[in-house]
Amino acid sequence: MATKRVKYTPAVLARARKIKLVLTDVDGVLTDSSMNFFTTPDGKTVEIKKFSAYDGIAFHMLRDSGIQTGIITGGNAPATAHRAHSLGMDFLYYNFLSKKPPLEHILLKTGLKAQQVAYIGDDLIDIPILLRAGLACAVKNAREEVKQICHYTTAAESGQGVFREVAELVLRAQGFWDEVLAKARAGKIGLSRKKTPVLIDFKTWGLE
């Protein structure tokens, strides 16, 4: 992951100061978009996910600073659920190719406003939620149609610390960065209480 400091525009900083929840896609954002499968001895097919450790720390930093996190994805890999649990994310919506309904559901559950939500995406199915988010972020190698509607495009490419870059933007904008560094020096990053993610599967959507 590049360590070069990204410059933020005043408009992006203004949006980032309002953020209380950072949501992200998985494939093409938290991963490099490749999909790897293997077959187990009992004949089952399993999908392998490759995640960035830098992003993992970013989820902890946001939670420590009182900012919620979550995933809205069209996929359903068990590795994603494991990642959400291990990092103490607040939300995981999976099998959702239509991503705006989960956002509206989250807003209803949390009482947050759309301008308090950041979303990171890379492909066309992310457009509806990006148009609604207060801070719409595109991956460097996202589709051009996605980048055109976003407020911020990352310097990092898919799977290379994209979430970390957006998390640092939000934390710096809200004045948390010095506190994050102090926790890092004291070995206290990630000590805040982990939450059990709200898990919602599109296949049972509306049946709960």
- Say if residue 98's pLDDT is above 80: yes
Q: Are 28 and 137 in contact (CB under 8 A)?
A: no
| Residue-range domains of the chain with CATH | 10-188 (3.40.50.1000)
Model confidence pLDDT, tens digit, residues 123-149: 999 999 999 999 999 999 999 999 999
- Split at pLDDT 50, 70, 90, the class of 4 is low
Distance CA 34, CA 22 (A): 23
Distance CA 48, CA 32 (A): 12
Return the SS3 of 53: helix
- Residue reference for tokens 């005043």: 10
Quick one: pLDDT at residue 207?
41
- Say if residue 208's pLDDT is above 70: no
Q: What is the mean pLDDT of residues 179-208?
A: 88
Distance CA 156, CA 70 (A): 20
Q: What is the dihedral of CA 96, 68, 145, 37, to 10 degrees?
A: -50
- Split at pLDDT 50, 70, 90, the class of 160 is very high
Q: What is the dihedral of CA 203, 206, 207, 208, to 10 degrees?
A: 110
Token pair of 174 as six digits: 């809200």
- Residue reference for tokens 């607040």: 90
Distance CA 197, CA 208 (A): 16
Q: Residue 64: count other Cβ atoms within 10 Å of its Cβ.
A: 19
Angle at 146 between CA 162 and CA 141, to 5 degrees: 45
Quick one: pLDDT at residue 2?
46
Task: Report the range of poorest mean pLDDT among 39-48, 103-112, 151-160, 164-173.
Answer: 39-48
Quick one: pLDDT at residue 64?
97
Distance CA 56, CA 165 (A): 12
Query: In whole numbers, what is the pLDDT of the chain averaged over residues?
Result: 93
Pick the closest to residue 93 from 25, 37, 32 (CA basis). Answer: 25
